[in-house]
Chain A
Amino acid sequence: MKKIEAVIKPFKLDDVKEALSEIGITGMTVTEVKGYGRQQGHTELYRGAEYVVDFLPKVKIEVVVTADEAEQVIEAIVKSARTGKIGDGKVFVSDIEKVIRIRTGEEDEEAI
């Protein structure tokens, strides 16, 4: 099982969600986060005074899928979240040892 975390531009969330549901992904966790990469921050202007915002608002999506599905999911996210401009975000993939559905006690792939 794999966990796929993607940090994306907030306005791309709907596109990504749609792309994932098209390939049969039924659930995800979304968190509002802040951060920066090569894009760095940006400036805001209040009465002529520039204020540098270091951390930009982003959205982090977490999806846990079977190992077979992982490639397809990654591809869907990358495709749907891309604008081609700096700051599009990143996808992180990691192994998951165990999954348990709290309601039924089902485990692992049954529980995803």
Chain B
Amino acid sequence: MEKIVIADNVWILVSTAFVLLMSVPALALFYGGLTKVKSILNTIMMVMVAFGIVSLVWIAYGYSLTFGGDVQGIIGDLRYFFLHSIKPSDTAPSAPNLYHYLFIFFQMTFAAIATALMAGAFVERMKFGAWILISFLWSTIVYFPVAHWIWGGGWLGNMGVLDFAGGIVLHETSGLAALVGAIMLGKRKEPFMLPSSLPLVAIGTGLLWFGWFGFNGGSALALNAQAVSAAFVTTLAAIVGGLVWMILEWIKFKKPTSLGLFTGIIAGLATITPASGFVDIFGGLVIGVVAAIVCFWAVVYLKNRFKYDDSLDVFGVHGVGGMLGAILLGIFAKENIGGVNGLLYGGGVGLLGKEFLALLVVGIYTVVLSYIIFKIVDKMIGLRVSRDDEIEGLDEALHGEKAYIKEY
């Protein structure tokens, strides 16, 4: 009890609210604005419902499996099942400066947004029931174990793998699962993007950016220099990512689009995430530039080359960005920021090697297990809505609603 630091608790409670804001409404609006008018409500619901389901699963057993007593480095035990043994005044074992409930609450929003993030690859064609089942299975089988490996006292974390705010734990897992799911679902009948509202995407982008202060800044788990630095470099990477993406579009397609600017901002944010607490301002700026270039390549070239229909580019922006950020962390980490040096500052290739290993192991695990989960759900209830429902739009077909009704 005596270790509780009130300022830290204030900051992390605020950060928790920020990360909540990132899902609902930020991600929901961001994805909704990118979706065709006839399926916008379904998209918003996919994000919100996943957030809800994973939050409940988190308090039931997710927290325990992730941060409970370590079993062979692989998974947590069930000591915190339904949080039954925890009192509100307890301190968190993983962060003794924080109330235990607050730590659980903060991490809950991470698990929830990781799953919700994936939805962007499946919108406009997935059965709603299938998505609910996937949210439940995926968070249980993929997210909790991987989060345990890196953050919960598991084998990768013990080896020295670093991931400040979830480039591997969230963005790689969610991005790769999005890719696997998008391929298994198949292309939409109208596989072009026809955004219902780019201003909504703009609001979503701004709110995501705002929320990322809690996401990355909060991951310091205290109100300290590292938190400030992480939030600062996060913003710089976002700015640079957006501007560079816009310039690339201007050169390549002769027009700087708003969606390009927004996408670049998100690419910068996703890419800086794992590195945010370990790199300095210079590192953050370089990461923003590289994020825009590599994610641009993934979205514009890679996707068209392999012809998968990742509806809203979850893999191209978040998956690729998260993985890229984990690698750049191994290069640009600086000791006076986060206690470790990367390749550029004389830390050798050790950290870089560990990041690569983690990316590889988590990548293979995610792809294989996600494939199995999608297969199971496909057998049980089917992944995809009927052709007619898809053409009519999921809002009316699945929910009996329309986003905008004309009245006379």
Q: B403 an interface residue at 8 Å Cβ cutoff? A: no
Is there contact, CB below 8 Å, between B255 and A48? no
Q: A47 an interface residue at 8 Å Cβ cutoff? A: yes
A51 to chain B, nearest CB (A): 5
Chain A residue contacts of B259, Cβ below 8 A: 46-47
Is there contact, CB below 8 Å, between A47 and B193? yes
* Chain A 32-50: CB-based contact to B (< 8 A → 1; otherwise 0): 0000000000000111110
Q: Tell me the nearest residue of chain A to B34, going by C-beta.
A: A46
Q: How far is the CA of A83 from the CA of B51 in the complex (A)?
A: 52
Chain A residue contacts of B296, Cβ below 8 A: 48
* Chain B 249-262: CB-based contact to A (< 8 A → 1; otherwise 0): 10011010101100
List the count of A-B residue pairs having beta carbons below 8 Å apart.
Answer: 31
The one of B192, B263, B304, B313 in contact with A51, judged by C-beta atoms closer than 8 angstroms, is: B192
Interface residues of A, dominant DSSP: strand
A41 to chain B, nearest CB (A): 13
Q: How far is the CA of A72 from the CA of B300 in the complex (A)?
A: 53
Interface residues of B, dominant DSSP: helix
Identify which of residues 155-191 in chain B touch chain A, using a CB-to-CB cut-off of 8 Å.
none
Is there contact, CB below 8 Å, between B192 and A47? no
Q: B194 an interface residue at 8 Å Cβ cutoff? A: yes
Chain B residue contacts of A51, Cβ below 8 A: 192-194
Chain A residue contacts of B253, Cβ below 8 A: 45, 48
* Chain A 41-76: CB-based contact to B (< 8 A → 1; otherwise 0): 000011111010000000000000000000000000
A65 to chain B, nearest CB (A): 28
Q: Tell me the nearest residue of chain A to B248, going by C-beta.
A: A48
Is there contact, CB below 8 Å, between A47 and B255? no
Chain A residue contacts of B199, Cβ below 8 A: none
Q: B206 an interface residue at 8 Å Cβ cutoff? A: no
What is the size, in residues, of chain B's interface with A at 8 Å between Cβ atoms? 17
Chain B residue contacts of A46, Cβ below 8 A: 192-195, 257, 259
A48 to chain B, nearest CB (A): 4
B200 to chain A, nearest CB (A): 14
What is the size, in residues, of chain A's interface with B at 8 Å between Cβ atoms? 6
B11 to chain A, nearest CB (A): 35
Chain B residue contacts of A45, Cβ below 8 A: 249, 253, 255, 257
Q: How far is the CA of A4 from the CA of B266 in the complex (A)?
A: 51
B2 to chain A, nearest CB (A): 53
Q: How far is the CA of A85 from the CA of B109 in the complex (A)?
A: 54
**Most chain B CB inside 10 Å of its own CB: which residue of A46, A47, A49:** A47
Q: B147 an interface residue at 8 Å Cβ cutoff? A: no
Q: B239 an interface residue at 8 Å Cβ cutoff? A: no
Chain B residue contacts of A47, Cβ below 8 A: 193, 257, 259-260, 263, 299-300, 313
**Most chain B CB inside 10 Å of its own CB: which residue of A46, A48, A49:** A48
Q: How far is the CA of A48 from the CA of B245 in the complex (A)?
A: 11
Q: How far is the CA of A51 from the CA of B194 in the complex (A)?
A: 8
Chain A residue contacts of B263, Cβ below 8 A: 47
Q: How far is the CA of A93 from the CA of B178 in the complex (A)?
A: 56
Q: How far is the CA of A46 from the CA of B195 in the complex (A)?
A: 9
Chain A residue contacts of B252, Cβ below 8 A: 48
B303 to chain A, nearest CB (A): 9
Q: How far is the CA of A69 from the CA of B258 in the complex (A)?
A: 47
Chain B residue contacts of A48, Cβ below 8 A: 249, 252-253, 296, 299-300, 304
Q: How far is the CA of A46 from the CA of B259 in the complex (A)?
A: 7
A46 to chain B, nearest CB (A): 4
Q: Tell me the nearest residue of chain A to B317, going by C-beta.
A: A47
A39 to chain B, nearest CB (A): 19
A34 to chain B, nearest CB (A): 15
Chain A residue contacts of B257, Cβ below 8 A: 45-47
* Chain B 185-225: CB-based contact to A (< 8 A → 1; otherwise 0): 00000001111000000000000000000000000000000
Q: How far is the CA of A37 from the CA of B142 in the complex (A)?
A: 54
* Chain B 240-282: CB-based contact to A (< 8 A → 1; otherwise 0): 0000000001001101010110010000000000000000000
Interface residues of B (CB under 8 A from A): 192-195, 249, 252-253, 255, 257, 259-260, 263, 296, 299-300, 304, 313
Can you offer 7 A-B residue contacts whose CB atoms are under 8 A? A47-B259, A47-B300, A48-B253, A48-B304, A49-B192, A49-B193, A49-B304
- Return the 3 tightest CB-CB contacts between A and B, nearest first: A48-B300, A46-B193, A51-B192
16 additional contacts (CB under 8 A) given A46-B195, A49-B193: A45-B257, A46-B194, A47-B193, A47-B257, A47-B259, A47-B260, A47-B263, A47-B299, A47-B300, A48-B249, A48-B252, A48-B253, A48-B296, A49-B192, A51-B193, A51-B194
